[in-house]
Amino acid sequence: MKSYLAKPLEVERQWLLVDATDLVLGRMSARVAALLRDKHKPTFTPSVDTGDFVIVINADKVRVTANKLLTKIKYSHSRIPGGFKQVPLGVHMAKDAADTVRQVIKGMLPHNALGRQMARKLKVYAGTEHPHAAQMPVNYTETIRQ
């Protein structure tokens, strides 16, 4: 019996809509990363991008547990002396919640060219409006809540 390996040209992608209202950031991000990798289908192939497109709306209403808004720090360095910056998660979420959610999900994908290709299929919006209505996305929120 031969193993099935998906081919990039045979992949059928869906558009999935996830409403992040009152979802825990880490759990929601892990499940969305699995959707982007296509781990929810039997055609999953680790070396081929077979995942679906995912639209995340209401990123500004996502829940963060415990005291992480104050204690979780985002670090960056501009590579010049004195360019080290530390920004708490709460400040970063208040500034741009969609970018924060995008970075958290992207961090759960593979850190190579395949992961970058998967991250391009992720669309995150702070509000309820999104420009992808023509793709007729399937509401996937209830499956993620479980």
Residue 81 maps to a domain: no
Domain count, the chain: 1
pLDDT in tens, 54-87: 999 999 999 999 999 999 999 999 999 999 999 9
Task: Flag whether 128 is in a domain.
Answer: yes
Tens-place pLDDT, residues 88-130: 999 999 999 999 999 999 999 999 999 999 999 999 999 999 9
**pLDDT value of residue 64:** 96
Of 101, 113, 117, nearest to 36 (Cα)? 117
In a domain, 110, yes or no: yes
Residue 90 is assigned to a structural domain of this protein: no
Is the pLDDT reported for residue 146 higher than 80?
A: no
Range of the domain at 41: 13-62+96-145
Task: Flag whether 130 is in a domain.
Answer: yes
pLDDT at 2: 87
Is 38 within a domain? yes
User: What integer pLDDT is reported at residue 144 of this predicted model?
Assistant: 86
- Asked if residue 107 belongs to a domain, the reply is yes
In a domain, 46, yes or no: yes
Q: What is the band of 139 on the pLDDT scale with cuts at 50, 70, 90?
A: very high
Report how far residue 135's alpha carbon sits from residue 125's, in angstroms, rounded to the nearest whole number: 16
* CATH number of domain containing 100: 3.90.1180.10
- The per-residue pLDDT for range 8-24, each reduced to its tens digit, is 999 999 999 999 999 99
